[in-house]
Chains A and B, each alone.
Chain A
């Protein structure tokens, strides 16, 4: 088996090569955001002696009268309407529940669901009441930081390269082969266990490595950025994508394409 070894090399800060400045207002805890009492305080702030003070390190976001500080990296906070991907670890053991749900969802199953409600202590209640949610069959799961997943209208994407992704707001990303036809009556509770072709597997592996490269370079994840990264990685072999120099090259190309597209 061939192995690759590297000597330690000093890391240079990634943002130097970009040469951009950020236009956002960055704060650290203890900083006064504003002394104007007309603002409503959102997440990441607290009120102290008539001043609004930041409680996390991040960028200030102002929407009309609401001021909040978005932290760089946090655990997932549920919000109503979010799509989440997760694994069932524990379930209520009541007789009624057993009869109803045992046939559909078991412990250890991977599911996609939507957040229905958020409780005051942070717990969320999920529902799978639409046919597009439910048990997930064959595919690959990638875990990234929740702050890297961009909020969009839809989180289910069928990419033109031949696979589909579900970008969970909680940072769990599910990559799976695009189903040929939409099953109407199966609902979301039966898993498709037919063997996946080699071509599909290669597309899925490449997508998985691309997503990990984007996450390592702290780039926002959404359908366009993942697609551009996939296309930029085509000249390389799938297993080479995770090497640091190739990762940097691919992500740099993705960044440039995205900048050209918006500007």
Chain B
């Protein structure tokens, strides 16, 4: 859109946030009783649902079973009503396959797969409303779902997107900011150790700016961790009280 100012002179973005400010995050664990683990997250207007099944026996060909660790299988799907224009193919198209692959890479780094040899862990993520930062919302929702299922993980996996406009790094991009065409980076982090599970960018960014953008994304991911940590602790506390003894 011509004339759209992504960052005003006073330092405000299109939706009134500051450069490093995150959108409002709300999350809930255990939304489905029938799945092993499930979670729902809202980051601003982006809504994602994650469901985890496993660890269970390998479905399909037994030959795919890995003798020393579990297979992580991720599927990404975005609802036909999730974007402004109705989407024709909810899953199976190139973007969904690529997202699924990225999610798999991310979670293979975090889940302790050696504890479940010859099994399979399925993670299904569904985006209900896409307003930017869909990869981050999916990772965050999937982390909560994996925790809900009781599958052992090294640490939380917290993700956030970041961009670069007018010499300033912006954290947690909305759809308007993503569509403007500037560089965007998606980062998935293991907060306690600071290790990066996945870093993805497919745009052109001068290498001098990379560190600044990366730092903004990492800072935002740690903020996400604080929030998710609180959600999980509350959930565990409530369940512990109910269980009694």
Decide if B242 touches A217 in the complex (CB within 8 Å).
yes
CA distance A72 to B239 in the complex (A): 7
Q: What are 13 A-B residue pairs whose CB atoms fall within 8 Å in the complex?
A: A26-B233, A26-B240, A28-B156, A29-B154, A46-B112, A46-B152, A48-B193, A56-B147, A58-B150, A72-B236, A72-B239, A122-B116, A220-B245
How many residues of B are counted as interface, with CB atoms below 8 angstroms from the partner's CB atoms?
A: 39
CB closest residue in chain A, given B241: A15
CA distance A258 to B243 in the complex (A): 12
Q: Output the least CB separation between B198 and chain A (Å).
A: 17
Q: A24 near B: Cβ within 8 Å?
A: yes
User: Which residues 123-167 of B have a CB within 8 angstroms of A?
Assistant: 147-156
Complex contacts, B153 vs chain A, CB 8 Å: 29, 55-56
Decide if A59 touches B191 in the complex (CB within 8 Å).
no
CA distance A74 to B155 in the complex (A): 17
Q: A13 near B: Cβ within 8 Å?
A: yes
B residues apposed to A, CB below 8 Å: 30, 36-37, 54-56, 112, 116-119, 147-156, 190-193, 229, 232-233, 235-245
Decide if B238 touches A14 in the complex (CB within 8 Å).
yes
CB closest residue in chain B, given A20: B241
CA distance A24 to B55 in the complex (A): 27
Interface centre among B152, B153, B245 (most CB of A within 10 A): B152
Q: Output the least CB separation between A263 and chain B (Å).
A: 12
User: Which residues 197-243 of A have a CB within 8 angstroms of B?
Assistant: 217-220
Q: Which 6 A-B pairs have the closest CB atoms?
A: A74-B150, A71-B150, A55-B152, A30-B155, A30-B192, A218-B242
Q: Output the least CB separation between B236 and chain A (Å).
A: 5
Q: Output the least CB separation between A59 and chain B (Å).
A: 6
Name the one of B112, B147, B152, B236 contacting A26, with C-beta atoms under 8 angstroms: B236
CA distance A148 to B150 in the complex (A): 14
Name the one of B152, B191, B238, B243 contacting A219, with C-beta atoms under 8 angstroms: B243
Decide if B152 touches A15 in the complex (CB within 8 Å).
no
Complex contacts, A121 vs chain B, CB 8 Å: 116-119
Known: A55-B154, A56-B152. A75 touches B36 (CB 8 A): yes
Q: A22 near B: Cβ within 8 Å?
A: yes
Decide if B154 touches A46 in the complex (CB within 8 Å).
yes
Complex contacts, B237 vs chain A, CB 8 Å: 15, 22, 26
Decide if A28 touches B116 in the complex (CB within 8 Å).
no
Complex contacts, A30 vs chain B, CB 8 Å: 154-156, 190-192
CB closest residue in chain A, given B65: A121
Q: A57 near B: Cβ within 8 Å?
A: yes
Q: What is the 8 Å Cβ interface bit string for chain A, positions 48-92, against chain B (1 contact, 0 not)?
A: 100001011111000000000001111100000000000000000
CA distance A30 to B157 in the complex (A): 10
